[in-house]
Amino acid sequence: MIQAALPGIECAMASALPAVLGLVQKLGSCGKPVHFHLHDGHPLSTFSPFGVADHLSFLTSIPLGFEYRGQRRARLMYGPGGLFEIIAQAVQAIGGERLSCTLEIHPPAERLPLGDAEQLFQHWRDKTNAEKMNAWLAVLGENHQLLQLAITAAMNASQPERCN
């Protein structure tokens, strides 16, 4: 059933980035500061503990229980490339000085060992919540790095070329 719906889902998702880029362009014409809440999504996502299909990391994919177009994972709506395009459009249309962003990514279900922070939790009998928070912080950190790269690339592209 899901396999048969994937072409339509992909078609609908492909329309999202152009629509967002157009909206960002229109927002830029207002001349006002703009704040973006950034996250990715996919209609098949069941990752969120809050029951929504978005608020996902730009660096994840959706596992499929079958092979589709040679893959067992589906790409998200934007992914890293889409984030770079959105940020580039925002910097161009709104201006880096009037643009601010927040990553709004829900916690993943995974756990991540505490590593160097293990000693802080040695008195805890159950480290599940600490490991879940550690996994969430890692996801946010990776997405923050990606966002920083996108902002840097967009700001560099918006600078006029200088002659030496």
Q: Read off the pLDDT of each residue in 64-68 and give the average, rounded to a whole number.
A: 91
Q: How confident is the model at residue 162 (pLDDT cuts 50, 70, 90)?
A: low
d(CA 107, CA 55): 9
pLDDT above 80 for 112: yes
Most confident of the ranges 42-46, 118-122, 146-150? 146-150
How many other C-beta atoms are found inside a 10 Å radius of the C-beta of residue 45?
Answer: 20
d(CA 44, CA 124): 36
Residue 125 included in any domain: yes
The two tokens of residue 71 are: 């893959």
Q: How confident is the model at residue 137 (pLDDT cuts 50, 70, 90)?
A: very high
Residue 9 included in any domain: yes
Domain count, the chain: 1
Residue 5: per-residue pLDDT = 87
Residue 164: per-residue pLDDT = 56
Residue 46 included in any domain: yes
Residue 164 included in any domain: no
Q: Read off the pLDDT of each residue in 38-46 and give the average, rounded to a whole number.
A: 94
d(CA 138, CA 57): 11
Residue 163: per-residue pLDDT = 57
**For 83-110, how does the pLDDT look when each residue is reduced to its tens digit (9 = 90+)?**
999 999 999 999 999 999 999 999 999 9
Residue with tokens 């030496």: 164
Counting residues of the chain whose pLDDT is more than 70, the rounded percentage is: 97
d(CA 90, CA 107): 26
Domain of 123 in residue numbering reads as 2-158
Residue 24 included in any domain: yes
DSSP the chain: -HHHHHHHHHHHHHTHHHHHHHHHHHHHTT-S-EEEEE-EE-TT----TTS-SEEE-TT--EEEEEEETTEEEE--SSHHHHHHHHHHHHHHHH-GGGEEEEE--PPPS-----GGGGGGGTT-S--HHHHHHHHHHHHHHHHHHHHHHHHHHHHHHHSPP---
Q: How confident is the model at residue 160 (pLDDT cuts 50, 70, 90)?
A: low
Residue 52: per-residue pLDDT = 93
Residue 163 included in any domain: no
